[in-house]
Amino acid sequence: MSTTTTVEAPAQQTPSRPRRTTGSDDVRIGMRANLRHIGALARRNMLQIKADPESMFDAVLMPIIFILLFVYVFGGAMFGSGNQEAYVNYLVPGLMAMMGLNIAMAVGTGVNDDFKKGVMDRFRTMPIARSSVLIAKMVVEVGRMLVATTILLIMGFILGLSISTSVWGLLAAVGLSLAFGASLMWIFILLGLTMKTAQAVQGVAMLVLMPLQFGSSIFAKPTTMPGWLQSFTDYNPLSNLADAARGLMTGGPVAHSALMTLAWSVGITLVMAPLAVAKFRKRT
Amino acid sequence: MAAGTLVDMTRIDKKPMNSGAGVAAGTAVSVRGLVKHFGDTKALDGVDLDVREGTVLGVLGPNGAGKTTLVRCLSTLLVPDSGSATVAGFDVVKQPRQLRRTIGLTGQYASVDEKLSGRENLYMIGRLLDLSRKDARSRADELLERFSLTDAAKRPAMTYSGGMRRRLDLAASMIGHPAVLYLDEPTTGLDPRTRNEVWDEVRRMVAEGATVLLTTQYMEEAEQLASELTVIDHGKVIANGGVNELKAKVGGRTLQIRPTDPDQLGAMARAVTEAGLDAHFLYGHSAGTQVIPDEGVLNVPILSDEQLTAVVGLLGARGYGIAHIGTHLPSLDEVFLAITGQKTGAAQDTHRETEEVAA
């Protein structure tokens, strides 16, 4: 259908079609180029933090506030007053799981904000893999998660945390919680890309976060909970992660919970990452 | 205007990037029957257009005409529902990756990272375009210099003025030496001085060989920059052609007469009106002979050469002295109003072209 009027230069009448024999989009982006792009974009995210140091407040303050609150508010109730230190050993591995969840949630609101900006249009009109924008964001956010975890551990040690396994056990626990946190980011990225406003993302995220966090073995032993709740906590991946981290740091069974955590991480990533990238591709 | 003083040789060297890609000779952008719906709204309703290599095509239309949707389809941000479009020989749907290597986009909203400095923004884009660290740095500095942003290079873009931001945006679009540049309402919201700066830059890019698709709702902008125009409204092309072609097509001119004795203006106007020689309807408006005392001229709307002869003949026969006669083609505002039959409220007579006739 043509709505063109007759004032058209004769040279323009010939429609041009690409004469490429391949016809397909044959310019794949190589691994090295892809890494370079992710690097450049991660650098952008780092510079954003540098320009706005306040954006690190959550990663720095959250672990401090949470550990103090929980240890001194609930510690006495759970392990008897004066026995708060015993609770530290129980709580810190669980809080590691919680840090991951909270920072992953912040990625959702961040993505929602970020992707409203014109610069995203520029990225999407450039010859880069569209996933690189998301992966760069994740790389930096995992870095933030590591900062939060480190601060949490330092606070833990100050309050009496003792690692009864080994440094390797501790590192494995940190690695496991980062891996799980990274997989959660895909969920929140998808949420951030799907919902219209950052507030809506936050609202939905909180709705999911609260029951997941508290209906788990993070803060209290599920054996103290009613049966129906126990069966929920048993399937809650945050319980798996908290139990695995606890085992790796303070001894006890690890294999089942660690495997479950890894399975959840891989499963969530496999399902959510392609959805998030597809959403990013389509978002207008 | 300092156009051409600092010709960027690298751009010229890399220009034949699209050779062998199979573009019909000289056509950089070719759009056929492009359709895009948003729900029930037809944002694009079968758009056809062509942009010849090395020229500026002005896509003119009111708000909501579909200009931005068109640009977004052509820059792979939106997938059209039907129709086809090729840019530098690459299909927007089938070859988006190759296409992205050949285009630059400057939108209505600055697409730079506000928190990053000007230099960091340009460096990042250089790296994303696979320049080495060294090349990305030198290209960034080169463009900062060219767009007079060197002094502000280290400041975050959010501290830039509107004009600086737009210039940074243009610079960002230029890093990869794009063969085709989309400028989507590049001066919307800018003050006149900054607008002129942006215009100068666009002229310079074109002088260096870039092909530009410019969308605008300002007639003046189209007239200043574009050699050819496509007028769209409600997602359809309603007219296209050269600037003067379009003006001529609407028909009608304004005959401007400067009498030797300004005191006779009123009498001359009455004579023309009483003889019924002036047109009463022009460019979609009611019209009539007007006296402009400040300029000492008489404006007579006419539709034909015969009318011109008759008016001049009448005034001569009555013994009025005429010092100067000129005819004006309608301004693009008037053309646009005449074509769309829609009031934009922006009809300004500021940039008319004057054709000198015998004095």
Domains of chain B from N-terminus onward: 9-246 (3.40.50.300), 251-356 (3.30.70)
Chain A positions touching B72 (Cβ under 8 A) are 284
Distance between CA A5 and CA A7 in Å, rounded?
6
Q: Give residue B118's pLDDT.
A: 95
Cβ-based contacts of B94 with chain A (< 8 Å): 23-25
| Residues 6 or more apart whose Cβ sits within 8 Å of residue A84 | A71, A72, A75, A76, A159, A160
More confident residue, B123 or A106: B123
Percentage of chain B beyond pLDDT 70 is 84
Residue of B nearest to A30 (CA): B130
pLDDT confidence of A284, banded at 50, 70, 90? low
Cβ(B55)–Cβ(B6) under 8 Å?
no
A16 vs B24: CB contact, 8 Å cut-off? yes
Which residues of chain B are within 8 Å of residue A5 when distances are taken between CB atoms? 237-241
Task: Report chain A residues whose CB lies below 8 A from the CB of B172.
Answer: 122
Task: Give CA–CA dist B240/B256, Å, rounded.
Answer: 28
- Mean pLDDT over the full length of chain B: 81
Interface touch B124/A19, C-beta < 8 Å: no
The interface predicted TM-score of the complex, written ipTM, equals 0.80
Residue of B24, B103, B128 lying closest to A128 (CB–CB): B128
In angstroms, the separation between the Cα of residue B24 and the nearest Cα of chain A is 5
- Of the candidates B52, B97, B236, which has its C-beta nearest A25's C-beta? B97
Is the pLDDT reported for residue B23 higher than 90? no
Average model confidence (pLDDT) across chain A: 84
Closest residue to B94, CB basis, from A23, A118, A123: A23
In tens, the pLDDT along B206-221 reads 888 889 999 988 888 8
Q: How far is CA B100 from the centre of its chain?
A: 23
> With contact defined as beta carbons under 8 Å apart, do A102 and A108 qualify?
no
User: Contacts of residue B45 in chain A, CB cutoff 8 Å?
Assistant: 3
Dump pLDDT digits (tens) for B156-204: 999 998 888 888 999 999 898 899 999 998 888 788 888 888 888 889 8
Q: What's the pLDDT score for residue B213?
A: 95
Contact between residue A233 and residue A222 where contact means Cβ atoms under 8 Å apart: yes
Shortest CA gap A101–chain B (Å): 26
Closest residue in A to B166 (Cα) is A118
| In the predicted structure, residue B155 carries a pLDDT above the cut 90 | yes
Taking only the tens place, the pLDDT of each residue in B235-254 is 999 888 888 777 776 667 78
- For residues B111 and B29, give the distance between their C-alpha atoms in angstroms, rounded to a whole number: 22
A190: closest CA of chain B, how far (Å): 19
Instruction: With a cut of 80, say whether residue A264 has pLDDT above it.
Output: yes
Instruction: Please determine, for residue A196, whether its predicted confidence score (pLDDT) is greater than 90.
Output: no
Residue A173 has pLDDT above 60, yes or no: yes
Percent of chain A at pLDDT exceeding 90: 38
Nearest CB neighbour to B26, from listed A11, A29, A126: A11
Contact A1 B98 (CB under 8 A): no
State mean pLDDT over A65-92. Answer: 83
Q: What is the pLDDT of residues A214-239, one digit of tens each?
A: 888 888 888 888 888 888 888 888 99
Enumerate the residues of chain B whose CB falls inside 8 A of the CB of residue A11.
26-27, 52
* Per-residue pLDDT at A183: 94
**Shortest Cα–Cα distance, A127 to chain B (Å):** 5
Pairing type for strands B82-87 and B90-91 reads: antiparallel
Q: Which residue of A has its CA nearest to B170?
A: A122
**Most A-contacting residue of B45, B98, B108, B124 (CB-CB within 10 A), to test interface:** B124
B348 band by pLDDT with thresholds 50, 70 and 90: very low
- Give residue B275's pLDDT band: very low, low, confident or very high (50, 70, 90): confident
Residues in chain B: 359
Interface contact B130-A33, CB threshold 8 A? yes
Q: How many whole angstroms separate alpha carbon A269 and alpha carbon A208?
A: 18
Task: Tell me the chain A residues in contact with residue B178 when contact means C-beta distances shorter than 8 Å.
Answer: none
Q: List own/partner pairs for B304-311 with CB under 8 A and 24 or more apart.
A: B307/B255, B307/B277, B307/B278, B307/B279, B308/B255, B308/B357, B310/B275, B310/B277, B311/B255, B311/B257, B311/B272, B311/B277, B311/B278
Residue type, B104: G
Going by pLDDT thresholds of 50, 70 and 90, the confidence category of residue B64 is: confident
Q: How confident is the model at residue B335 (pLDDT cuts 50, 70, 90)?
A: confident
Tell me the C-alpha distance between A96 and B183, whole Å.
48
Task: Mark yes or no for CB contact B98/A25 under 8 Å.
Answer: yes
pLDDT of residue B50: 93
pLDDT value at residue A16: 39
- Cα–Cα nearest to A121, from B113, B130, B275: B113
pLDDT higher at B197 or B357: B197
Cβ–Cβ under 8 Å, residues B144 and B121: no
Partners of residue A124 in chain B, C-beta under 8 Å:
76-77
Query: How far off is chain A from B158, nearest CA to CA, in Å?
Result: 11
Contact B48 A119 (CB under 8 A): no
Long-range (24+ apart) CB contacts under 8 A made by A164-170 are: A164/A249, A164/A250, A164/A251, A165/A248, A165/A249, A165/A250, A165/A251, A169/A248, A169/A249, A170/A248, A170/A249
Question: Which two structure tokens, joined as six digits, stand for A171?
Answer: 């590192």
Q: Are B125 and A126 in contact (CB under 8 A)?
A: yes
Contact A16 B23 (CB under 8 A): yes
Examine the pLDDT at A145 and tell me if it is beyond 80.
Answer: yes
pLDDT surpassing 60 at residue B306 = yes
Decide if pLDDT at B35 tops 90: yes
Nearest to A25 among B26, B96, B109 (CB): B96
* Interchain proximity B22–A16, CB inside 8 Å: yes
A284 and B128 within 8 Å at the Cβ level: the answer is: no
Nearest chain A Cα distance for residue B145, angstroms: 22
